[in-house]
Amino acid sequence: MYRISVEADFSSAHSLREYEGKCSSLHGHNWRVRLTVRTDQLDSRGIGVDFGKLKKMLAALVARFDHVDLNQVAPFDKLNPTAENISRTIFELAEKELPPGVGVEIVELWESEKNRVGYSKG
């Protein structure tokens, strides 16, 4: 099994609902996201997933969350925009974009240099 990872960055604001503390107020992060996919298939060139195509796909997925107040953007207008929920949302969006034979292994999301969350199925 091959695991292929790419990263992207985006900046956004959010406030956490039902949270006791400073994070209940509107604040921002410079997020970093790492998408890791898996495949056991290589094409005729020996490539599982082209890095360039994977980076482009991830950049397009996170662009909808860049320079916005996440609380005003679906699905976070209803879903609490926690790092956990953001990572799961990116995971689910990526799953829909991948070609057959390629699956999402994990999405890791940093809200700061020292704080990150990962989401995977299983």
Over 80: is that where the pLDDT of 9 sits? yes
Tell me how far apart the alpha carbons of residues 105 and 31 are, in angstroms, rounded to a whole number: 20
The torsion angles phi and psi of 37, rounded to 5 degrees, stand at -115, 165
Instruction: Write out the catalytic residue numbers.
Output: 23, 67, 111
Q: Tell me which H or E stretch contains 38.
A: strand 27-39
Residue 122: the pLDDT is 77
Task: Note down the domain range covering 19.
Answer: 2-119
Per-residue pLDDT, averaged over 53-74, amounts to 98
CB atoms closer than 10 angstroms to residue 29: 18
Cis peptide before 75 (omega within 30 of 0): yes
Whether the predicted pLDDT of 81 surpasses 90: yes
Average pLDDT, the chain: 97
Domain count, the chain: 1
Mean pLDDT within 50-76: 98
- Structure confidence at residue 106 as a pLDDT band (50, 70, 90): very high
Q: What is the mean pLDDT of residues 31-49?
A: 97
Q: pTM, whole model, 2 decimals?
A: 0.96
Q: Which residue has the tokens 């949270």?
A: 19
Q: Which residues pair with residue 119 across a beta bridge?
A: 107
Structure tokens at 96: 């829909």
Please report the pLDDT score of residue 80 as a whole number.
Answer: 98
